[in-house]
Amino acid sequence: MALPYIVVNGRLTDDPTVKEINGDTVLNYRVAANQRRQNEAGEWVDANTTYLDGSLWGKGATNSSLKKGDTVIITGELRQRSYETKEGERRTVYEIATESIGSAVKKY
């Protein structure tokens, strides 16, 4: 069964980091995506914010000039991962196995 394929439009919360792991290059980032709704006056307002971490492996990881605050559009697979904290608590996170990430212009 295939993982969910998603498209996310949001803003980078920090400068992406690029590092080498076992000879491969990886770009790691965090994006904030807001739900947009119209209020009773017809104005667009931000609602809930979802934060997602993501990583892009390979050649595309080195060709990025993205920085904190940039509006981006991301495509990739949504993956779920569980881990245990130092305090022994079980946590679950959702991450984007990124196929592409690039600058986008918000139209609202």
Helix, strand and coil in the chain, % to nearest 5:
5, 65, 30
- Determine the pLDDT at residue 105: 72
Q: Distance of alpha carbon 69 from its chain centroid, rounded?
A: 12
pTM confidence score: 0.81
Q: Which helix (H) or strand (E) holds 36?
A: strand 24-38
CA–CA distances in Å: residue 41 to residues 1, 4, 17, 38, 79? 44, 35, 41, 8, 38
CATH superfamily of 5-103: Nucleic acid-binding proteins (2.40.50.140)
- Determine the pLDDT at residue 34: 87
- R_g of the chain, CA atoms, integer Å: 16
Q: Say whether pLDDT at 6 is over 80.
A: yes
- Determine the pLDDT at residue 56: 95
Q: For the segment 11-24, what is each residue's pLDDT rounded down to a tens digit?
A: 999 999 999 999 99
* 64-83 average pLDDT score: 93
- The domain spans of the chain are 5-103
